[in-house]
Amino acid sequence: MKRKKTKVATRVRVKKKTARTRKVKKTKSQNGIGTVGKYKTREAQIRTLKTIGNIITFKKPIPGTRFKNQQIGVMEFYEGDDGKVKLIGSFHSTPLYASIDKLIAAVDWKWMHENIWD
């Protein structure tokens, strides 16, 4: 018995995908900080900061910590009589911020939205 010869493709033609760009409208909260997704409004940001158990990521390492941590697991939200605020975590805490707006500005909302675990 003779086997039939089969043609083997030597070249594969692949269509190049063109990069499509889309314009994304940036949203800003009342205090002028660009925010995205789940954390669009100032109220949502404050609610996230006050919720116990949330992991908050900062743009810069938290000063005063031994290992230059950028994340903190919220155990308590401290708000003083003079308007100063502070996040207290299980191992370390943030320094006192002059206002809630300064604390909101220090948090990396874009990173938190992109790496959401919900």
**Closest residue by Cα to residue 71 from 79, 85, 59:** 59
Q: Which 8-state DSSP code applies to residue 57?
A: E
Q: What are phi and psi of 75, to 5 degrees?
A: -110, -30
pLDDT number for residue 39: 82
With cut-offs at 50, 70 and 90, classify the pLDDT of residue 87: very high
Rounded average pLDDT over 98-118: 85
pLDDT of residue 111: 86
pLDDT at 36: 58
The total of other beta-carbon atoms located within 10 Å of residue 104's CB is 21
Domain boundary assignment for the chain:
37-114
Q: Which residue has the higher pLDDT, 69 or 30?
A: 69
Across residues 81-110, what is the average pLDDT?
Answer: 91
The Cα–Cα gap between 41 and 39 comes to 6
Amino acid making up residue 46: I
Kind of pairing, strands 71-79 and 27-28?
Answer: unpaired
Higher local confidence (pLDDT), 79 or 113: 79
Q: What rounded mean pLDDT belongs to the chain? A: 77
